[in-house]
Structure 1
Amino acid sequence: MPEMRFTIRWPDGATESCYSPSLVVRDHFAAGKVYRLDDFLARARTALSVASERVQAKYGFPCSRALGQLARIETAAAAFANAADARVQILSFEP
């Protein structure tokens, strides 16, 4: 299963490299695009859950790294939850 990393820019300007065990994140995000925080979170939840499910279908167990990445994203996003115009940008995808 091809894994990949995608780099994001948080509302405070910090960048983070994120992990996915599947290329499915490209179905939910576009490089260079900026997403409202709530939209970014919804897309990340869907993409990383689908990625984990693909691992489960192939290997018989969910992907703990994908679920851990989702937890990390949700924790980091909580810091911006009260910011009215919080946005997250997808900077790049790396195979």
Structure 2
Amino acid sequence: MPAVHFNVAWPDGISNRYYSPSTVIFQYLNEGQAYSIEEFSEKVIAALENASIRVEKKYGYACSAAADEASKIKQKIHQLKTMNVQGNVTFKNYS
């Protein structure tokens, strides 16, 4: 199962690189697309959960790395909301 890294620009000006254990994320997020924080959260968490399910089907156990990435993203979103940061999340690219 090919792993994928992806780059995100947050509305606070910070960019981060994240990991997905599966290319299923391609079905959820488009390169160069800007998403509201809420829409990005829904899409990326669903994509990472689906990726983990695919790993579980293939190997018999869920992908803890996908759960870790989802946790990092949820923490970042919580931070943005706490700081009342407005704007869009830009899904920069896959790498």
Give me the TM-score of the superposition, normalised by structure 2: 0.94
Q: Partners in 2 of 1:89 and 1:43 — Cα distance?
A: 13
Q: Deviations over 1:72-95 (max 9, x none)?
A: 00001111125373311011101x
**1:1-95 mapped onto 2 (5 Å cutoff):** 1-81=1-81, 83=84, 85-94=86-95
Quick check: 85-94 or 69-78, which moved more? Answer: 85-94
SS of the residue 1:90 aligns to: strand
| Structure 2 residue ranges without an equivalent (≥5) | none
How many pairs were matched up? 94
Q: Is the 8 A contact 1:80 1:86 kept in 2?
A: no
**Percent identity over paired residues:** 31
Give me the TM-score of the superposition, normalised by structure 1: 0.94
| Structure 1 residue ranges without an equivalent (≥5) | none
SS of the residue 1:31 aligns to: coil
RMSD: 1.1
The one-letter code matched in structure 2 to 1:37 is I
The one-letter code matched in structure 2 to 1:17 is R
The one-letter code matched in structure 2 to 1:85 is Q
The one-letter code matched in structure 2 to 1:90 is F
